[in-house]
Structure 1
């Protein structure tokens, strides 16, 4: 009798605990995240460093040294991964010829971006998601094309993340397409990203998100000597650069100064990343990039695409844009021994889970509106089903006007919801939710009269 009573009490205690679901994870994505390998990342970076220099102006004819050899090696890795993709992954070097600009290009330059496309399985789904890192690097003098420049962190780390995501994700199928790219010319003025962003706009490609990775593998800052491998920064634009003059009145009337598409992407990266990657806090920084500096996501932002920059929490400027040397007891130079490969693993996994969740999700809901036909303290939201993807339902996101993040989430299978919360006091958005729980990017409602 006593034994039966004890078992019954244990069942009461254990039952509710096991029934609770704190975080709902997609099993496939969870398994992909576990496959991110620090040793693979280390191998990629050591190989990139071994090319001596990857300066954009360096040799393109030497098979062992310079930007040309580095591009061919990255292409060979993408081609290797393509063999495990059942024909879905294809890769090439996209080139363009640039003339001297009197700034950081002093001779005719064949610029090349190494691009691998994992084609989406749904032919009706035209969405594209991009992960990017820059292949080129520099010494103290950006025009020095001959001296050694390891570039382990800037931006060997970003390129390693791109390669590792391609290695793992090429084995899987997604409805939408994913582009893995290592661009050239970043240090010469964002040349490769400018070329790709402008070309994408001209082709009217449906690029929904760009994750740009630049300097994301070191945990030790200069000056303060802070060591931190549990936080990573995500920089995002608040107000849209693209056609801001046309949209300014609507933004002001609706109070959407903090709800541009890149800022919404940053919120998504934080929520999804912290869901799948343990011991990593995603710190949103309310700037398009670091103070008075720029990166390869900016050309996409300037052409109307949602794009963010992912960067380590504390940069070390003795290891960035520096000739390798020992000076006053300090080791200068961007060397591979300064990389924290466990930290880089987490930051790579951050990219992977976001790319996978976005590309598995249905498209965003269409025509999201808030009804303002009559005043009141309820909020009536309506929308249409997305153009592609199987939908389980929709999340309605809500936050106070002073909150940086979405605070509440409501689920419905309908195309309308009436909430007992005032549109005066809260912001709202709507996401499509797929059958496996994958969420689209959030759509802020327009006005329905």
Structure 2
């Protein structure tokens, strides 16, 4: 499937989105050839076409709502539409993973909904990632225990409107969103000074969760868990499964929620307590973002197709495919992981909730069987897990390693060999 991600299709998707002239959130919604409405209808039609090849596995919905006007960002009440391609999980449909890009665009004036705003890199490139994954998963009739959502959202440039509505809808339905990724500005590898890293992609991952209570934050700090939030564990997971020869990419995990002065569609998920992260190209050229199309002193401004590195975007799509497929194919991230701190000892006892439903599928030949659990650990100054201990189908294990000297985690292992992200343990109470 990684090999089938098609450069020509990616280029065609980006070119088609650029052809709508402007995709400003408040641009025309009824013109068949110009404006965000035409882009919405084209993306939805393409996704519906993919669904026809999926054997009923892929379902496409257009999620719409009216966004009230926001002074300085959105002049009038506006319909916002998200296109959601859902690959339903077979045994754990409520466990959800999201990959999204935003199909709206803008130029220099955030309120200018008339003039051209090509939005090739920001963010037709991210939409192309979601669409290619939907196409290929459909053609292969992919079956995974958990649900995958491949999404094109709108209203990002004016205030993350589409992704906020999507995240809140999932929260309201009690979905167990275990990771949400946005691909925003993933179409170029060259900066304004000519610096190029065609085989690197940045992944921004928040540290201390914004949803932590004051007491939880204080406890996390007291035990040295600032670098072990659920989102940081997602960053480690992506680096493990997607930095390799299969993707021909290295994931640069950046320890912050986003770049300075910027925001993205992962943030609404973070605010609701879901792990969210942002993929963005390694170097940015700000002459090609949020700019009117124009030439000044022989410098071309504007987010034009000519500045998009299609092979780079293809490799970013591979990173996303390796990530979301691995997550949805593995058991869920262990819950309620604790470490015993009741007595002074040089051993460490960890406990967690046993996934009895997944364990019941073991040996049946079906999808979603649980093989057991692993305790992972690393030195406190190491960024990634460096040691693994297989402890089997249990909910408690004691290891001969002092909790004072290392950082622990617990991850689940499927019968298919897929591993979940790790969970950091808090002291038991």
1:134-153 equivalent positions in 2, closer than 5 A: 134-153=102-121
Task: Answer yes or no: is 1:211 the counterpart of 2:181.
Answer: yes
Give the stretch that moved more between structures: 301-310 or 430-439: 430-439
Among 229, 235, 260, the residue aligned to 1:266: 235
Q: Residues 66-97 of structure 1: CA distance to partner in whole angstroms, max 9, x if unpaired?
A: 10010011101110110111111111211111
1:277–1:346 Cα contact (<8 Å) kept: no
Aligned to 1:177: 147
1:246 deviation in Å? 4.2
1:6-25 equivalent positions in 2, closer than 5 A: none
1:91-240 equivalent positions in 2, closer than 5 A: 91-122=60-91, 124-170=92-138, 171-222=141-192, 224-240=193-209
Task: Answer yes or no: is 1:402 the counterpart of 2:381.
Answer: yes
Q: Residues 273-303 of structure 1: CA distance to partner in whole angstroms, max 9, x if unpaired?
A: 1146343111111110001211110111011
What is the rounded CA distance, in whole Å, between the counterparts of 1:34 and 1:51 in structure 2? 30
Unpaired runs of 5+ in structure 1? 1-31
What is the rounded CA distance, in whole Å, between the counterparts of 1:383 and 1:436 in structure 2? 21
1:324–1:331 Cα contact (<8 Å) kept: yes
Change in Cα spacing, 1:206 to 1:394, as seen in structure 2 (3 Å) is same
1:33–1:276 Cα contact (<8 Å) kept: no
Q: Residues 312-333 of structure 1: CA distance to partner in whole angstroms, max 9, x if unpaired?
A: 0001111111111221111111
Aligned length: 416
What is the rounded CA distance, in whole Å, between the counterparts of 1:161 and 1:273 in structure 2? 15
2:247–2:319 Cα contact (<8 Å) kept: no
Q: Residues 330-358 of structure 1: CA distance to partner in whole angstroms, max 9, x if unpaired?
A: 11111111111111111111001111001
**TM-score, normalised to structure 2's length?**
0.94
What is the rounded CA distance, in whole Å, between the counterparts of 1:392 and 1:137 in structure 2? 46
Q: Residues 196-224 of structure 1: CA distance to partner in whole angstroms, max 9, x if unpaired?
A: 122222222111100110001101101x3
1:280–1:346 Cα contact (<8 Å) kept: yes
3-state DSSP class of the match of 2:2?
Answer: helix
Aligned to 1:428: 408
1:251 deviation in Å? 0.8
1:133–1:214 Cα contact (<8 Å) kept: yes
1:230 deviation in Å? 1.3
**TM-score, normalised to structure 1's length?**
0.90
Aligned to 1:41: 10
Kindly name which structure, 1 or 2, has the bigger radius of gyration based on alpha carbons.
Answer: 1
Return structure 1 stretches of 4+ with deviation > 4 angstroms: none
What is the rounded CA distance, in whole Å, between the counterparts of 1:414 and 1:207 in structure 2? 25
1:276–1:353 Cα contact (<8 Å) kept: no
What is the rounded CA distance, in whole Å, between the counterparts of 2:72 and 2:132 in structure 1? 34
3-state DSSP class of the match of 1:113?
Answer: strand
Q: Residues 371-404 of structure 1: CA distance to partner in whole angstroms, max 9, x if unpaired?
A: 2232122222233422433112222211111122
- Aligned Cα root-mean-square deviation (Å): 1.5
What is the rounded CA distance, in whole Å, between the counterparts of 2:245 and 2:152 in structure 1? 25
